[in-house]
Chains A and B, each alone.
Chain A
Amino acid sequence: MDDRDPPSAASDLQARIDEARRKAAPPPSKAPSPKAVSMRAGIELFAGVAFGLIAGISLDRWLGTAPWLMVVLMILGIAAGLRNTIRAAQEETRKARKDTDTGP
Chain B
Amino acid sequence: MRQFSTAALVLTGSFAVAAGQAAHAAEGGLPQLDLTRFPPQLFWLAVSFLLLYLLMSKLALPRVGDILRTREEKIAGDLNRADQLNRDADAALKGYEQALAEARAKATQIAAQTRATIQADADARQAEAEARLSAQAAEAEASIRATRDQALGQVREIATDTAVAVVTRLLGNQPDGASIDQAVGEELSRRGVK
Contacts and interface: CB of A to CB of B under 8 A. Distances in A.
Is any CB of A less than 8 Å from a CB of B in the complex?
yes
A67 interface: no
A14 B93 contact: no
B59 to A, nearest CB: 24
Contact of A7 (B5, B10, B16, B93): B93
A89 B20 CA distance: 26
A37 B9 contact: yes
Given A14-B86, A17-B82, A37 B93 contact: no
B1 interface: yes
A6 interface: yes
Nearest to B82: A17
Contact of B9 (A10, A13, A40): A40
B79 A24 contact: yes
A24 B80 CA distance: 12
Contacts of A10: 86, 89-90, 93
Nearest to A14: B86
Nearest to B89: A10
Contacts of A90: none
B6 A40 contact: yes
B2 A33 contact: yes
A72 to B, nearest CB: 26
Most B CB within 10 A of own CB, among A6, A14, A17, A20? A17
Contacts of B86: 10, 13-14, 17
B76 A32 contact: no
B130 interface: no
A98 interface: no
A18 to B, nearest CB: 9
Interface residues of A, number: 15
A5 to B, nearest CB: 11
Nearest to B83: A17
Q: Is the interface of A mostly helix, strand, loop or mixed?
A: helix
A94 interface: no
Interface string B4-20: 01100110110010000
A101 B138 CA distance: 106
B75 interface: yes
A37 B5 contact: yes
Given A13-B82, A41-B9, 14 more contacts: A10-B86, A10-B93, A14-B83, A14-B86, A17-B79, A17-B82, A24-B75, A24-B79, A32-B1, A32-B5, A37-B2, A37-B5, A37-B6, A41-B12
26 contacts: A10-B86, A10-B90, A13-B89, A14-B86, A17-B79, A17-B82, A17-B83, A17-B86, A20-B75, A20-B79, A20-B82, A21-B79, A24-B75, A24-B79, A32-B1, A32-B2, A32-B5, A37-B2, A37-B5, A37-B6, A40-B6, A40-B10, A40-B13, A41-B12, A41-B16, A42-B13
